[in-house]
Each structure stands twice: as C-alpha cells, then as structure tokens.
Structure 1
Amino acid sequence: MLSVKRIFSYSSLFIVASAVTASGGQDGSYEGLIEPSEVVNVGSQVRGILEEIMVERGDRVKKGQVIVTLNANIEKAAVNLARARVEFSRRKVLRNRDLYKKKLISIHDKDEMETELRITELQFREAEAKLELRTIHSPVDGVVVERFLGPGEYVGEEPIMKIARIDPLYVEVVVPVEKFGTIKKGMKAEVRPEPPLRGRYRARVIIVDRVMDAASGTFGVRLELANPSYYLPAGLKCRVVFPSG
C-alpha cells in the first residue's frame, strides 16, 4: 500500500461549470472558484497502532515534517538485535584477519566470515528501514484539513489525515466559447476574492481546455495564484478579469 494517496485538484471543469456561471460581469469579469493546488490523503505503508499525532486540523505543516508515529517497540528491538549481530560479526572478522595472514585459517573460513558480516549489515539496514516506516512525514507544505484517526487507534489502509497544499492556489474559471483564442497559457489575470476577503491578486493561466462543453457553450481555464502567506483560504468564490484585446 502506498503511504500517500495524492488527489490532485484536477476536478472536472464541466462540473465547475455547473456550479459557477460563465456569463461575464459588467466589468468583464467571470466567476471562478479558488481551490487547493493539491489535496493529499496521508496514510501508512504499514499497519499498526497510532502512537502520536503531532498536528491538529488547521495546523500548517512543512514537507518532510514528522506528523505521525506508530508504535515501534518490535521494530526498535529488531534494530538493536541486528546492530548487535553486526558488531559481533565485525569483531569476528577483525580477530581472524591476523590468523589468515599467518595461514591458521583457510580462505574459505575467511570468506565465510566476511560474507556473514555483509549479510548482518544488510539485515541491519533492513531493520532500520522497517523502523523508519513507523514514522510518517508530511509529503507537502500545506495545512491539515481533516484528521480521521487518533492516538491508540489501529491504522490499516484508510487515511490518517488530509493535507491541502494552498501555495499556490488554483483558480478554476469557465468562460464562454467566444473567449477561446483570446485566453492563452502564461497570460496574467486579476483575481478578486468574494467578501469578506477583498483585494486584487495577480494569477497566471496554466491550463486552457481544448475540449468545449457543448451543452453550456463554455470551456475551462485554470490559473495559478501565489499564496505564500496563506492569507487566502481555498474554497472561495471569486471574480476573474482577463486582459482585454
């Protein structure tokens, strides 16, 4: 099972089209929807009991940050055992190196001890890797949207929490087919969030749909909106103004 199930914000723009109008306002603006650029369901590659969850709903997280640990008593014991075997095999090889030089042991015995050392080293690395799987890191910079499980609960294939990446944000807009050809990838547009959040923000067109929705006579456009301060939340409606001409 993958430790992270990524759900990219590739929501169908035809679904968005049914939720927002494609008719332009008097100022030439179009209604849009501000969404996370990525939503991630965070799970575990291994089954076990949740020992600690370091974040709550609404917390900001950084990519690579430890957010969950599973009970790892067995894995820690396995690491200690594997380490002891490596140390023993290493001492054994060192002790018998001089004996080989003096021809007191055969090349076969020497090879056997060195092979045993390599095997124990691999077993040690394997034990460390299994222990590392009991610690879960955030796969993205973002905010915790929802927690599904808590400490003491058993985790299997279900997600533990959901994290949304809101820098950058995506702005999904549907516009009438008459605008096709005038809106191009890379062009800038102005985004005006709905009250109570106000202001005007610059966004860049990153996707222009090449397939129209014949029923509504519209096509979809996605813009990327920088949000380094996390000031703008996702889920807002907005107005988008594209440059004229």
Structure 2
Amino acid sequence: MKRFVPWLVVIVGLLIIAFVVRQRRTRGAANYQTATVTRGPITQAVTATGTLNPVVNVQVGSQVSGNIAKLFADFNSQVKAGQVVAQIDPALFQATVTQAEGDLANAQAALELARVNAKRTQDLFARKTSSQADLDQAMANLHQAEANVKIKQGALDKAKADLEHCTITSPIDGVVISRSVDVGQTVAASLQAPVIFQIANDLTKMQIDSNVAEADVGVVQVGQDVDFTVDAFPMRIFHGKVVQVRNAPITVQNVVTYDTVIGVSNPDLKLKPGMTANVSIIVAHKDNVLEIKNAALRYRPAEAAAAEAGSTSSRSGARQGGPRPGG
C-alpha cells in the first residue's frame, strides 16, 4: 500500500496541472456571440415633436364694447354658421339709434327748407328783385343741408351696425373649444376685438405643427408618411402625411427649426387640440434587405476596454465583419 502513495501523489498533481492549464486556455479563448443574418424592411425616419391643432380655428370676438347679457354656447357646443352664440346688452346702442334717427329727421327737414329758400331766391333773382349774393347764399345753404343729411345718415347707419354687432354669431360650422367670458362681464373693443369664443371647424381632421431641425428639413417632403404617438395613448400609433413644409424659420436660443404641417385623420375624436405629438417622418423605406445586428458591426476587445477604463480620453471604433481576436 505504501508503494502506491507516491504514484497517487503524482497522479493528483498531474490532474491539478491539467486543470490549471485548461482553465487558462479557456480564459484566453475568444467568446463569440452569433446571430443569423435575416431579410426584412428597413426605415429611415426624422423625429420631431409638435402640437395638435384644428385645421381651421376661428376666434369669435365682439366689435363693440358692453356687458355680456346672454351666452348661447359653452365649451364643446356644436354650432352652425350664423347661429347666435352671445348677446351684448343692446340698451345703449338702441338709444344711440333712436337719437341718430331724430338727428336725421331734423337734417332732412332743414334740407327741405333750404330747397324752398333756394327756389324762392332763384325766382326773385330771375325777376331781378334779389341780388347775386342772396342767390349764392341760398345755394350754399342748400348744399350744406344736403351734406348734413349725408352725415346724419352715416351716423344712423353706424348706430344700426353697432346695434347689430350686439348679437354675436358663429361664422362657421364647428365646435366651441374655448370660452373666454361669462354673463355680466364687460368687454372693451377700443383697441382690438376681445375674443369671446374659439371655434374649430371640424375636429375629425386635425394637423400637427411640428418643429423639424434645420439639419433634417432637407430630406422632409410633402406627401411623406408620418407615424406619431401622444402621451394620452402611449401604446397606440397614429398616422398622417406631411402637407406643408413652411419656409419661415423659427429661432429659439440660436436653434433653428422649420414648421412642418402634418395632416391627421381623427374619426374617433381621441386626439384633442393642444396634445403633444412625438413624430416620426418616414423619409426612406426599403423592403427585403439584409439585416445584421448592430453589435456585429462594433467590436472592442476586452484588453482595450480595460486599458481605456482609467483614461480621460474616450476612443471607439466601428468596422464591418466579425471580431478578430488579438488583432
């Protein structure tokens, strides 16, 4: 039994040495990851963000100042063109019309008197019982009376127009998306017409105003397909088409973008005005092309990665083909 002990020690030692050598070889061998080259579609897209807006959005305001007496529409109300949506208290404007009618009547009476005087003066002048100066004065009074009638008629027309403007109507068929006043509130139209309602023509057809970077706008064209999502429905992809690329630049903090208008169909009315859209404009698409994993086109040996771990400079390389261990 004792004579087998040395041989047992030798055998165990050889096994340990073989195990260590194998471990070192395994550690130094390249560990390849493989993937199958396939065929499929490939798409190039330009990404941007934008805001959903109605195609036609009309601001309905008041051309006269006064108190809001009645409101006949509210948020989300469906309205027709010509439908009354608000009423401004007409009392003051009705009084102005009445006064203007009285002023016009006085001016017309003065005109009739001036005509009679002018006719009488002409007859007297023809019989040489009136002077030329009297005739000239009578004719001047007649012309002045005629002009005064026109002035009073204009004042009456304006007063009637202001009275009509107390009744505010919708200019289009659509839906009210915003109301800015309440009953009893005073609106002042001294400088510009105050906005009372915003009415969208048809929310089943909307548009996205997206800001495309100047570096990408060169490949964006009218008619290109668009996919987009909104935060309200993150799992749903909506579709549209580019309908306009506007030439006017938009500069914010020295960053230049261009407004790209995207037409969108919204039959189920899920999309709302003001929603933020994450847009992907499809600028190129190919079918049945070879597809290779991105990782196969980029290789960094473990030694290089370890050497760069403590370096302040970062280097990376990319090439086609498989990795070459030790190269």
Which has the larger Rg?
2
Q: Residues 63-117 of structure 1: CA distance to partner in whole angstroms, max 9, x if unpaired?
A: 7654322111111121123124324533554576466445468323422322331
Contact kept in structure 2, 1:166 and 1:227, CA below 8 Å: no
TM-score (norm 2): 0.50
SS of residue matched to 1:112: helix
Could you tell me how far apart the structure 2 residues matched to 1:228 and 1:102 are? 77
2:198 corresponds to which of 151, 163, 166: 163
For the 8 Å contact 1:34–1:169, the answer to whether it is kept is no
Corresponding residue number in structure 2 for 1:68: 86
Partner of 2:283: 243
Distance 1:173 1:241 in 2: 10
1:223 aligned to which of 236, 261, 271: 261
Partner residue of 2:325? none
Match of 1:58 among 76, 99, 124: 76
Looking at structure 2, the residues matched to 211 and 152 of structure 1 have their Cα atoms a distance apart, in angstroms, of: 40
The alignment status of 1:81 with 2:121, answered yes or no, reads no
Structure 1 residues 84-163: aligned runs within 5 Å: 84-90=102-108, 93-94=111-112, 97=115, 100-103=118-121, 106-138=138-170, 143-156=175-188, 161-163=196-198
Match of 2:66 in 1: 48
Q: Match of 1:242, SS?
A: strand
- Distance in 2 of aligned mates of 1:192 and 1:155: 41
Give aligned pairs, total: 218
Structure 1: gaps (5+ residues): 1-25
CA offset at residue 144 of structure 1? 2.3
After superposing the two structures, state which structure 1 stretch, 52-61 or 159-168, moved more: 159-168
Corresponding position of 1:35: 52
1:179 aligned to which of 200, 209, 216? 216
Shift of 1:124: 1.1
**Structure 2 residue corresponding to 1:189, chosen from 225, 244, 257:** 225
Pairwise CA distance, 1:160: 5.4
- Give the secondary structure class of the aligned counterpart of 2:284: coil
Instruction: Give the Å deviation of 1:223.
Output: 1.4
**CA distance 1:211–1:52, change in 2 (3 Å):** closer
Aligned CA distance change for structure 1 residues 189 and 32 (closer, same or farther; 3 Å): farther
TM-score, with structure 1 as normaliser: 0.63
Supply the AA of the counterpart residue of 1:241.
I
Shift of 1:56: 0.7
CA RMSD between the two structures:
4.4
Q: Which runs of 5+ in 2 are unaligned?
A: 1-41, 124-134, 286-327
Change (3 A) 1:181 1:233: same
Counterpart-to-counterpart distance in 1, 2:172 and 2:50 = 22
Distance 2:65 2:251 in 1: 45
Contact 1:32/1:238, CA 8 A, preserved across alignment:
yes
- Aligned equivalents of 2:236 and 2:101: distance in 1? 57
2:273 maps to which residue? 234
Summarize the Cα distance change of 1:51–1:176 in structure 2 as closer, same or farther, 3 Å threshold: closer
Letter paired with 1:189: D
Is contact 2:248–2:258 with CA below 8 Å preserved after alignment? Answer: yes
Q: Is it true that 1:204 corresponds to 2:221 in the alignment? A: no
Q: State the AA in 1 paired with 2:65.
A: R
Residue identity (%)? 18
Once the two structures are TM-superposed, the CA of residue 150 in structure 1 deviates from its matched residue by: 1.8
